[in-house]
Structure 1
Amino acid sequence: MKLINKIKISLIDHFIVWLIPVLVLVVWQIVVQSGWLSSRVMPAPLDVISAGVTLTANGELIHHFLVSLQRALLGLVIGGSIGFILGFITGLSKLAENLLDSTIQMIRTIPLLALVPLVILWFGIGEFSKIFLLALAVFFPIYLNTFHGLRSVDKDLIEMGKVYGLSPYGLFKNIILPGAMPSILVGLRMSLGFMWLYLIVAETIASSEGIGYMTMNAREFLQTDIMVLGILLYAVLGKISDILASILEKKYLKWHKGYQK
């Protein structure tokens, strides 16, 4: 009986999550189909789906999607790894914080869009410039949250671990890292959002492939259905990334009361 109730609650939760997006799509379709909104300004959802089916059938959409996914993952891995390592170092070492943190904070305040001309000048218009922008975008949330997480670990727990004879590795594995993990995963979740946000910026740099290119190219030919399709793809990819981050939180933070149902 308890299992059935849990399944019912889970189904209701999933229904509520998708309730507003579905309602928006239904209202959107009705408004366009009734003529209250011109399809030239905003195509109906069914027209967008039709465009997606056509582009998928000829392989164009899949090609652009895979190119964008590869860029996004490369940027995440490179920027995220560097952000985690530097956040780890500055979070555990006061000397490293004094040497590095101030410089990183100054760079963080520079708008990424202002760097685009310089990035093109430095690295040209190839793939490296796009990956560089994406890596920079995801670097700061992971760095800041890793640093904050390590510094926020309860000092009393660390002292208790020392009293119980834990080695430095044991302290890190059993107390410091678990204590910092909620903040680190928040940083990852934020970075996943920034990753898709800045991907479209990166793909406007003389690109000939990717979802951003597909969307910008559709604008030139006033193909609003494909433009909206590209925007919706970013929204769906962002939601999928958020779901994956939520799964990681539930897996690695089972001990945390804030993530227990």
Structure 2
Amino acid sequence: MSAEIDSVRIAAPAQAGVSGRPRRETKRRRWRGVALGLVVPIVAAVGWELAVRAGLSDGRLVPPPSRIAQTFADLAVTGELARHTAATVARVTAGFGLGAVAGTVMGAIAGYSALARSLLDPTLQALRAIPSIAWVPLFILWLGIFEASKVALIAVGVFFPVYLGVMGAIVAVDRKVVEVGRIFRLSGPAMVRRILLPAVLPSFVVSLRAGLGLGWMFVVAAEFMGAGEGLGYLLVDGQQLGKPAQIVAAIVAFAILGKTTDWILVVATAPFLRWQDVVAAEEPR
């Protein structure tokens, strides 16, 4: 008995070391991916800065990074950057929440029921083809020029990719996997939890990311609708006053916020996808 206990004590640290090693490897791979992702923008920014300083361009229409950084600093000192960023983030958050919930519910209904799919999908596909700008006068007429119309426009942009992703994922569930669940006599909730949900989740996360990206695109159109604050307002203000550095700074802010929120979404959904064993998880070569 004492020998068995000693062997367990010896094996425990070894097992902890084995489990800790993949965790360290995953963290190292993640930071390496972040560093690789920064290579292209840093090289492009440094290259353009050097080109302007060398006199190859005057940097008037496309300002160098140093001038854009100065614009960011000026906006931060006056408090405008925080105010406009907060307004835009609030609109995207509200629109993304509404659009994602509606798209998930409608996609689940259309994917689960062939009758509902035949009734709803043709109309929704026709509405999906309408350009975002075409909704602007209608939403202003219905909801006014204030926040409700802006959030509604963003929600429309988020709705369609989420709806398509959820419906397509449910329809594409392998019939053989469902039959296995029926053979084991899984109940309805158990079938959803153990069969359908794991099969749908990867596509659902991708559709959420696509919807979030469109939400950031639609917020620009939304903030063209008479907004008094927001990053879209900075774009319009920079155009009217002839400030290209402010325009590029607003575009860079959109890029940073869009990538940050996408990363947050990926991190938040990662625990639900740990069961996946996919090639994409391997270290880049």
Which band: TM-score by shorter chain?
over 0.9
Distance in 1 between the 2:237 and 2:190 partners?
55
1:156: which partner in 2? Answer: 176
1:255: which partner in 2? Answer: 275
Structure 2 CA distance for partners of 1:95 and 1:11, relative to 1, 3 Å = closer
Q: CA deviation at 1:242?
A: 2.6
Distance in 2 between the 1:143 and 1:54 partners?
41
Q: CA deviation at 1:249?
A: 4.8
**AA of the residue aligned to 1:36:** L
2:242: which partner in 1? Answer: 222
Q: Is the CA contact 1:185–1:249 (under 8 Å) kept in the aligned structure 2?
A: yes
1:142: which partner in 2? Answer: 162
The correspondence for 1:65, drawn from 85, 91, 102, is 85
Q: CA deviation at 1:143?
A: 0.2
TM-score, normalized by length of structure 1?
Answer: 0.93
2:153: which partner in 1? Answer: 133
Q: CA deviation at 1:49?
A: 0.9
Distance in 1 between the 2:87 and 2:268 partners?
25
The answer for unaligned runs of 5 or more in structure 2 is 1-16
2:208: which partner in 1? Answer: 188
Distance in 2 between the 1:164 and 1:6 partners?
36
Higher mean Cα deviation, 191-200 or 234-243?
A: 234-243
The answer for unaligned runs of 5 or more in structure 1 is none
Q: CA deviation at 1:153?
A: 1.2
Structure 2 CA distance for partners of 1:5 and 1:251, relative to 1, 3 Å = closer
Higher mean Cα deviation, 116-125 or 55-64?
A: 116-125
Q: Is the CA contact 1:182–1:249 (under 8 Å) kept in the aligned structure 2?
A: no
Number of aligned residue pairs: give it: 261
Q: Is 1:111 matched with 2:131?
A: yes
Q: CA deviation at 1:124?
A: 2.3
Q: Is 1:246 matched with 2:257?
A: no
SS at match of 1:35: coil
The correspondence for 1:235, drawn from 244, 250, 255, is 255
Distance in 1 between the 2:273 and 2:27 partners?
22
Distance in 1 between the 2:277 and 2:133 partners?
40
What's the RMSD between the two structures over aligned residues?
1.8
TM-score, normalized by length of structure 2?
Answer: 0.86
Q: CA deviation at 1:118?
A: 2.3
The correspondence for 2:68, drawn from 19, 40, 48, is 48
Distance in 2 between the 1:95 and 1:11 partners?
47
**AA of the residue aligned to 1:190:** A
Structure 2 CA distance for partners of 1:141 and 1:55, relative to 1, 3 Å = same
Structure 2 CA distance for partners of 1:103 and 1:151, relative to 1, 3 Å = same
Distance in 1 between the 2:75 and 2:201 partners?
41
Q: Is the CA contact 1:32–1:42 (under 8 Å) kept in the aligned structure 2?
A: no
The correspondence for 1:96, drawn from 90, 96, 116, is 116
Q: Is the CA contact 1:79–1:136 (under 8 Å) kept in the aligned structure 2?
A: yes
Q: Is 1:209 matched with 2:229?
A: yes
Q: CA deviation at 1:14?
A: 2.4
1:31: which partner in 2? Answer: 51
Structure 2 CA distance for partners of 1:5 and 1:195, relative to 1, 3 Å = closer
Distance in 1 between the 2:39 and 2:277 partners?
28
2:8: which partner in 1? Answer: none
SS at match of 1:257: coil
Q: CA deviation at 1:5?
A: 6.0
The structure with the larger Rg is 2
2:6: which partner in 1? Answer: none
